[in-house]
């Protein structure tokens, strides 16, 4: 439903959205994006008071809402997309919206209007993004060196070690861990909620997908072969001798810089501009690739990463990223062959 920027809507964004909920079924096709910016609101339930405060913020910023679409309206998930016009400095705006969202209890994702489309390539971190674990930490606990590995991780976080140094030190502590034990662990690592849905939807949209991970190819290949629709895998190779880990590493190590390089290489091989690529991750070593494409989504990330990433999703599963492509629940269900509720 379109909103005239000169109407009294700024004084009652809540009323406008309520009218949109009444007149626009979620099953309708969302309006074509014609505005330079889109702001997506995600919450378990969006309340009038939240919308009123958001309206005040938009008015103060002189950002005009030119269209409203309801992308989801079901128990536990409400998603509204606003098309915005105005003089918006992206970095300043996203930080202001991050602070406002925390105040209001909303997730607010700002993106350029032309990025509200399905990507052609989507690159994912693995640990704590596609799966609910940091594999190296889980291996360390089983090997009885969990505390030592945790201390090395803390040292890296304090800036005393870079990722490559910390990775080599942690791997040295896993010497002797058997391949048979790895085979037992792999099926027990839980997938991130929404991961399968998102990857299947991307494949249905014709989008290629890649795992770019500072974790291990052993587990990334397991995910690709058993659970997730993944086209490319780049991660660290485990070095075995006699069926056990040597404690050494095989170069090159996949750190943040290499993730960014791999994203660009895959896009080049597919003859895709970066404007058709997105990246999703949770850690500081994901920030280089998150800054490259059309969207860079920090998923369930630490505050520092969330503050630096272009977009963020915190309170939902990975499949919530589909709303940032401009899809509503009915379209997503059709892509996945699900029965629409």
The SS3 assignment for 271 reads coil
* Confidence at residue 20, expressed as pLDDT on a 0 to 100 scale: 52
Whether residue 12 is found in the same domain as residue 145: no
Domain end residue (candidates: 77, 98, 116): 116
Whether residue 156 is found in the same domain as residue 281: yes
Whether residue 98 is found in the same domain as residue 161: no
- Can you give the pTM of this predicted structure? 0.91
Alpha carbons 38 and 325: distance in angstroms, whole number:
10
Whether residue 111 is found in the same domain as residue 28: yes
Whether residue 112 is found in the same domain as residue 148: no
* Confidence at residue 152, expressed as pLDDT on a 0 to 100 scale: 87
251 is catalytic: no
Neighbours of 87 (CB within 10 A): 9
Which is catalytic among the residues 125, 255, 319, 329? 125
* Position 317 in a domain: no
Q: What is the pLDDT along the chain (341 residues), one digit of tens a residue?
A: 344 434 444 445 655 565 555 445 555 789 999 999 999 999 999 988 999 999 999 999 999 999 999 999 999 999 999 999 999 999 999 999 999 999 999 999 999 999 999 999 999 999 999 999 889 988 999 999 999 998 887 777 566 778 888 899 999 999 999 999 998 999 999 999 999 999 999 999 999 999 999 999 999 999 999 999 999 999 999 999 999 999 999 999 999 999 999 999 999 999 999 999 999 999 888 999 999 999 999 999 988 899 999 999 999 999 999 999 999 999 999 999 987 55
Within 260-328, strands assigned E span: 277-281, 295-299, 311-313
CATH number assigned to the domain comprising residue 193: 3.40.50.1000
85 is catalytic: no
Q: Count how many domains the chain has.
A: 2
Per the CB < 8 A criterion, the answer to whether 291 and 311 are in contact is no
Which is catalytic among the residues 69, 92, 127, 329? 127
Domain end residue (candidates: 116, 147, 177): 116
Long-range contacts of 264-273 (CB under 8 A, 24+ apart): 264/292, 266/121, 266/123, 266/208, 266/210, 266/232, 267/121, 270/120, 270/121, 270/208, 272/120, 272/121
* Confidence at residue 23, expressed as pLDDT on a 0 to 100 scale: 46
Whether residue 54 is found in the same domain as residue 29: yes
Q: Please name the residues in contact with 41: beta carbons below 8 A apart, sequence gap of 6 or more.
A: 54, 78, 79, 80, 81, 82, 106, 107, 108
Whether residue 110 is found in the same domain as residue 126: no
CA–CA distances in Å: residue 214 to residues 92, 136, 167, 240, 341:
30, 10, 9, 18, 39
Whether residue 172 is found in the same domain as residue 95: no
What are the b/e assignments for 163-178, b being 16+ CB within 10 Å? Answer: bbebbebbbebbeebe
* Confidence at residue 156, expressed as pLDDT on a 0 to 100 scale: 72
Whether residue 103 is found in the same domain as residue 134: no
* Position 133 in a domain: yes
* Position 321 in a domain: no
Whether residue 126 is found in the same domain as residue 230: yes
Expressed as residue numbers, the domain containing 50 is 8-116
* Confidence at residue 8, expressed as pLDDT on a 0 to 100 scale: 44
Whether residue 158 is found in the same domain as residue 209: yes
Whether residue 98 is found in the same domain as residue 134: no
């Amino acid at each position: 439903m379109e909103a005239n920027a000169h109407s009294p809507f700024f004084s009652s964004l809540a009323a406008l959205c309520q009218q949109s909920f009444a007149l626009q079924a979620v099953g309708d096709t969302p309006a074509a994006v014609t505005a330079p910016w889109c702001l997506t609101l995600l919450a378990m339930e969006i309340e009038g008071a939240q919308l009123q405060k958001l309206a005040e913020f938009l008015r103060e910023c002189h950002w005009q809402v030119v269209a409203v679409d309801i992308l989801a309206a079901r128990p536990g998930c409400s998603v509204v997309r606003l098309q915005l016009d105005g003089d918006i400095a992206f970095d300043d705006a996203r930080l202001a919206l991050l602070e406002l969202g925390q105040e209001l209890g909303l997730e607010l994702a700002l993106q350029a209007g032309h990025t509200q489309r399905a990507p052609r390539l989507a690159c994912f971190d693995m640990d704590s993004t596609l799966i609910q674990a940091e594999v190296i930490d889980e291996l360390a606990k089983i090997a009885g060196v969990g505390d030592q590995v945790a201390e090395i991780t803390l040292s890296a976080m304090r800036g005393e070690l870079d990722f490559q140094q910390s990775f080599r030190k942690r791997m040295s502590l896993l010497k002797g861990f058997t391949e048979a034990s790895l085979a037992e662990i792999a099926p027990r690592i839980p997938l991130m909620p929404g991961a399968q849905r998102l990857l299947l939807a991307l494949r249905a949209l014709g989008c290629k997908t890649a795992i770019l991970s500072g974790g291990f190819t052993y587990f990334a290949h397991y995910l690709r072969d058993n659970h997730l629709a993944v086209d490319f895998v780049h991660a660290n190779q485990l070095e075995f001798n006699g069926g056990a880990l040597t404690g050494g590493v095989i170069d090159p190590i996949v750190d943040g810089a290499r993730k960014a390089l791999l994203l660009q290489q895959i896009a080049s091989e597919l003859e895709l501009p970066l404007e058709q690529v997105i990246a999703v991750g949770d850690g500081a070593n994901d920030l280089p690739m998150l800054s490259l494409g059309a969207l860079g989504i920090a998923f369930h990330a630490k505050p520092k990463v969330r503050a630096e990433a272009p977009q963020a999703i915190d309170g939902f599963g990975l499949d919530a990223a589909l709303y940032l492509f401009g899809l509503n629940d009915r379209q997503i269900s059709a892509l996945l062959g699900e029965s629409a509720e």
